[in-house]
Amino acid sequence: MIVSFLRRGTLFALLWLIASEGNPAAWPLAVAGIAGATVASLWLLPAKVLPPISPAGLARFLIWFIRQSLAGGVQVALLAVQPRLALRPALIELPLTVPPGLPRLLFTAALSLMPGTLGVRLQGDTLLVHVLDRQQPLQAEELAERVAGVFGGAR
C-alpha cells in the first residue's frame, strides 16, 4: 500500500510539474492536490486491482505510439488536403487477443487514438473499428504486442 501510494504520488507530482511548467509558486497548492489525487486514485482503483506494469515496456510502448501517431497524423493530413481523396472507409470486426481489464482498455484507447481509426463498439472479444482506409494496415497485432509488453509480456 505504501509503495503504491509513493508510486502514484510520484506520478501525480510529475504531472503537476509538467502542468505548472515547473513554477515553484504552484507547489503549495500542488501538495494538497497531489495528496488528494493519490488518495482518490487508491480508493477508486486499489493497488490489488492493477496488473504489474513494466516500466521498460511502458517506455517502449509510448515511443512506438508517439511515432505511429505522428506518421499516421501526417498521412491523414495529406489525405485531407488532396484534391481527390483516396479514402475507403470501412467498419472492421477485430477479434481481440488482449486479455480483459486494463490491458484491453489500453489497447482499445490506443487504437482509437491512432489516426484513421476509431473503436466503435466492444462486444465480448470483438472490437468494431471504423477505419478511413480499409486497404491500410491496421497494425492491431503490433499494438497488441506492445500492450502485452507494458504488462510484462503476457497476452
| 72-103 tens-digit pLDDT | 888 778 877 876 766 788 999 999 999 988 89
154 has pLDDT over 60? no
Q: How confident is the model at residue 22 (pLDDT cuts 50, 70, 90)?
A: confident
DSSP 24: G
Contacts 24+ apart (CB under 8 A), 4-9: 4/42, 4/47, 5/38, 5/42, 8/37, 8/38, 8/41, 8/42, 9/34, 9/35, 9/38
Which grid cell sits at 32?
A: 494538497
The H helix count followed by the E strand count for the chain is 5, 3
Mean pLDDT, to the nearest integer, of 103-108? 92
Sketch the domain layout of the chain as residue ranges: 2-49, 55-150
Residue 155 reports pLDDT greater than 60: no
- pLDDT (tens digit, 9 = 90+) per residue, 28-79? 888 999 999 999 988 887 877 677 888 899 999 999 999 988 888 887 788 7
Looking at residues 121-136, what average pLDDT do you find? 90
Cβ–Cβ < 8 Å for 89, 117: no
Q: What percent of the chain has pLDDT over 90?
A: 37
